[in-house]
């Protein structure tokens, strides 16, 4: 057995931990998904910066936006996340070293690493919290290193406290003052002085945020001392967990804990140690045990922090935004046991764009029926972007524009929405408005070429008519009509404007089928037949069969059906007959073989059967 861990052992641990962090960030978390979920944008201009001057902690949020925007760049985002964790680990270690003057084990660095990786697994966790935490560590370290007389030190702490309050917010100020108080208590031998200093810190802790809220900053009462997480709309809101509290209080808690260890070591240190204690101290038992515990915790607990349903929702949205349709479809199907409304909407979009719409529509359970084509039925901030996307694809430019405007009110500076506004205005021929949005995008960090492409359209408007996308949308967009409060009516308006709008036609057909409106579906049959002259998707064929069964079975002779559909229909009917048309009895057998089929949907999954409704979401935006 190694009698003592060699000096370089700690560096080996550091490298191993770093390697694990890199691996975890790159392959488990992938900050690009954080960027996709939070839709972070960053601009290099004064009007963007001006938004971050009016309340405590806003400067840190500005830095957080910068980091959040880098998350959107492959590799660099992961590298920045890694750098933030490593730097925080080092600062954390340096602070604890102030107490445990002997060589403190590097194992302690694993604490911030574990907590930060846990937090990052929530894709809505705001990067500004890491910025705040890092600067908290830096300020605590420097405050602990002050080597001035007491009055100068107290004056500097007052100045630092004011700066921390303004730049990092009141919660960080509270943690900062508690941490330096703990350090003073632990390191000082002059109890009276420490008590007085403690009182001074406590006064600062209460007075600064109180006066700040009361007289200087227009912030709500409840954020006087609790402003760690920025105020965000529900669409990107992070829900605080115990891990966040553990993370933010880890510094003062660990200061006290290390001090207690040191105290215990000093108190119980004697030459007459038992053989067992001598064994533990002489051989590398403690660090080895620590290492094993850390490995166990990292490998066992860390991956469990990930909310898989959230991950799949974010991933589906990301793949759709990147037009990676197959990945989006597969991710959605993987998550189909845990139904999600937004995954459903994105799945429907992905299968259409992948050219498999009617054939795969039931591969994801359409538990909310036509609602998955009509997110704006329930007007909240969460549906703005997805509604704008949906209507843009359909060519309903007025609606795409409307929801983009609403979305921009919820998420000002959002680049996706700004680009949408540019496109919609170009399609509508309003180049002046497009120019305003382009001017904003010009200052966006990490340009993707959008600005350069479309700014040319403003100086040479002939490019507008040459652009395929713009030309197509212009043909499809309805004008001069009221926008109805029903998706089927909206789709009909699109078809009335241009019956070549295949997406509108197929969406309408599927809406009718999902809504059990077979008669209305049959009215679209001739147009659908033009799209599928050879072989109709099974769901359409079943719609025709059901129509004939319910009206006049002789009509069946007028249509041709594929063998697969006929076999499926016969087999499905046989199972039903076997169970004497008792749906409940037949369900297990039917589910086994026909879960993703139209007849199963009509009997068991349709919201008209299950009475499933969209939960009323948060009203505030």
Partner 1 sequence: MTINTCKSTLLFLILFTLVSCNSIPTDYSKLEKTPAIYPDYTAITIPSNIAPLNFCIEEPGTKYCITFSSSKSKGFTILQKSNKVIIPQSKWERLLAENIGNKILIDIYVYNNQWFKYQTIENTIAPEKIESHLCYRLINSVNILWREMGIYQRNLENYDEKPIFLNRSTDLGCVNCHHFNKANPKEMTLHFRKYKVGTIITTKDSIIRLDTKTQYTMSPFAYPAWHPDGKHVAYVVNRVRQIFTSTKSYHDVVFDEASDIVIYDIEKNTVTTSPLLSSKNRENMPAFSPDGKYLFYISAAPKTSDSSEIYSKYDLLMAPYDANTNTIGQVDTILKSKEIDKSISYPRISPDGRYLLLTMCRYSYFPIFDKYADLYIFDLKSKKLSPLECNSPYTDSYHTWSQTGRWIVFSSKRMDDAFTRPFIAYFDASGHAHKAFVIPQKNPAFYKTYLKNYNLPEFINGEVNISDIQLRDLVQTNPKKVKFDEKIDIDGLSGASYIKK
Residues in contact with partner 1 by CB under 8 A are 45-47, 55, 214-221, 231, 233, 379-381, 384, 396-399, 401-402, 405-406, 408-410, 412, 425, 428, 430, 432-433, 435-436, 439-440, 443, 477-483, 493, 620-621
Q: Report the residue number, 401 or 599, with the smaller CB distance to partner 1.
A: 401
> Is the CB of 209 or the CB of 537 nearer to partner 1?
209
Q: How far is the CB of 85 from partner 1 (least distance, A)?
A: 32
**91 half-sphere exposure, CB direction, 13 A CA radius:** 23
Whole-number Å distance between alpha carbons of 565 and 591? 17
What is the enclosing helix (H) or strand (E) of 347?
A: helix 341-353
Exposed / middle / buried, residue 552 (Cβ in 10 Å: 0-12, 13-18, 19+):
exposed
| C-alpha to C-alpha distance for 504 and 506, rounded to whole angstroms | 6
> Alpha helix locations (H) across 24-126?
31-38, 46-50, 58-70, 76-97, 110-120
Q: Say if residue 21 is exposed, middle or buried (CB neighbours under 10 Å; 0-12, 13-18, 19+).
A: buried
CB of 38 to partner 1, least distance (A): 16
What's the rounded Cα separation, in Å, for the pair 575 and 588?
10
Alpha-carbon span 408 to 410, nearest angstrom: 5
Spatial separation of the C-alpha atoms in residues 25 and 15, rounded to whole Å? 15
DSSP strand E in 297-451: where? none
> How deeply is 564 buried, as exposed, middle or buried, from its count of CB atoms within 10 A (0-12, 13-18, 19+)?
exposed
Encoded tokens for 85: 């964790």
Q: Which is nearer to partner 1, 325 or 413 (CB)?
A: 413
Smallest distance, Å, CB 397 to partner 1? 8
C-beta of 387 vs 565, nearer to partner 1:
387
Instruction: For the CB of residue 426, give the shortest distance to partner 1 in the complex, in Å.
Output: 13
Pick the closer one to partner 1 by CB: 322 or 481: 481
To partner 1, the closest distance from the beta carbon of 375 in angstroms equals 13
Closest distance to partner 1 from the beta carbon of 68 (Å): 19
Smallest gap, in angstroms, from Cβ of residue 436 to partner 1? 5
Contact residues for 101 (Cβ-Cβ < 8 A; gap 6+): none
Which of 134, 104, 114, 471 lies closest to 298 in space, CA to CA? 114
CB of 443 to partner 1, least distance (A): 7
- The nearer residue to partner 1, 244 or 493, going by C-beta atoms, is 493
Shorter beta-carbon distance to partner 1: residue 35 or 402: 402
């Amino acid at each position: 057995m190694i009698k003592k861990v060699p000096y370089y052992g700690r560096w080996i641990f550091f490298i191993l931990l770093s390697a694990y962090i890199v691996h975890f960030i790159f392959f488990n978390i992938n900050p690009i998904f954080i960027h996709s979920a939070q839709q972070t944008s960053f601009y290099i201009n004064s009007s963007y910066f001006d938004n971050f001057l009016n309340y405590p902690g806003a400067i840190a949020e500005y830095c957080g936006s910068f980091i959040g925007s880098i998350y959107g760049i492959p590799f660099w985002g992961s590298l920045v996340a890694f750098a933030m964790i490593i730097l925080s680990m080092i600062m954390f270690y340096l602070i604890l070293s102030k107490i445990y003057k002997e060589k403190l084990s590097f194992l302690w660095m694993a604490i911030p690493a574990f907590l930060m990786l846990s937090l990052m697994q929530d894709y809505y966790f705001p990067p500004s919290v890491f910025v705040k935490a890092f600067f908290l560590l830096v300020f605590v370290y420097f405050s602990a290193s002050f080597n001035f007389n007491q009055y100068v030190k107290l004056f500097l702490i007052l100045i630092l406290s004011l700066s921390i309050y303004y730049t990092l917010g009141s919660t960080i100020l509270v943690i900062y003052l508690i941490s330096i108080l703990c350090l003073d208590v632990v390191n000082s031998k002059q109890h009276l002085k420490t008590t007085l200093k403690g009182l001074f810190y406590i006064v600062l802790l209460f007075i600064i945020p109180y006066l700040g809220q009361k007289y200087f900053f227009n912030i709500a009462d409840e954020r006087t001392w609790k402003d760690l997480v920025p105020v965000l709309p529900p669409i990107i809101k992070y829900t605080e967990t115990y891990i966040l509290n553990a993370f933010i209080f880890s510094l003062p808690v660990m200061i006290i804990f290390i001090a207690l260890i040191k105290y215990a070591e000093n108190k119980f240190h004697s030459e007459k140690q038992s053989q067992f204690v001598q064994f533990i101290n002489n051989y590398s038992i403690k660090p080895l045990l620590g290492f094993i515990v850390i490995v166990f915790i990292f490998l066992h607990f860390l991956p469990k922090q990930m909310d898989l349903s959230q991950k799949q929702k974010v991933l589906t949205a990301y793949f759709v935004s990147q037009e990676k349709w197959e990945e989006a479809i597969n991710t959605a199907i993987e998550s189909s046991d845990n139904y999600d409304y937004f995954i459903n909407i994105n799945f429907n979009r992905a299968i259409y764009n992948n050219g498999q719409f009617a054939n795969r529509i039931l591969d994801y359970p359409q538990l909310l029926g036509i609602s998955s084509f009509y997110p704006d039925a329930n007007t909240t901030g969460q549906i703005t972007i997805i509604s704008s996307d949906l209507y843009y694809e359909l060519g309903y430019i007025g609606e795409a524009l409307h929801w983009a405007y609403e979305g921009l009110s919820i998420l000002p500076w959002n680049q996706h929405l700004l680009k949408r506004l540019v496109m919609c205005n170009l399609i509508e021929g309003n180049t002046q408005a497009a120019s305003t949005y382009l001017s904003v995008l010009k200052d966006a960090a990490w340009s993707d070429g959008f600005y350069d492409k479309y700014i040319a359209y403003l100086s040479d408007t002939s490019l507008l008519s040459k652009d395929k996308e713009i030309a197509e949308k212009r043909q499809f967009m309805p004008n001069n009509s009221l926008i109805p409060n029903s998706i089927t009516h909206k789709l009909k308006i699109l078809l009335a404007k241009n019956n070549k709008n295949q997406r509108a036609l197929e969406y309408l057909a599927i809406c009718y089928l999902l809504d059990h409106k077979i008669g209305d579906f049959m009215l679209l049959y001739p147009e659908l037949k033009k799209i599928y002259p050879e072989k109709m998707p099974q769901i359409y064929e079943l719609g025709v069969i059901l129509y004939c069964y319910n009206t006049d079975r002789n009509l069946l002779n007028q249509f041709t059906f594929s063998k697969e559909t006929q076999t499926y229909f016969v087999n499905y009917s046989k199972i039903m007959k076997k169970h004497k048309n008792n749906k409940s009895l037949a369900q297990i057998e039917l589910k086994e073989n026909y879960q993703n089929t139209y007849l199963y949907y009509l009997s068991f999954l349709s919201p008209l059967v299950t009475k499933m409704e969209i939960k009323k979401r948060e009203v505030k935006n």
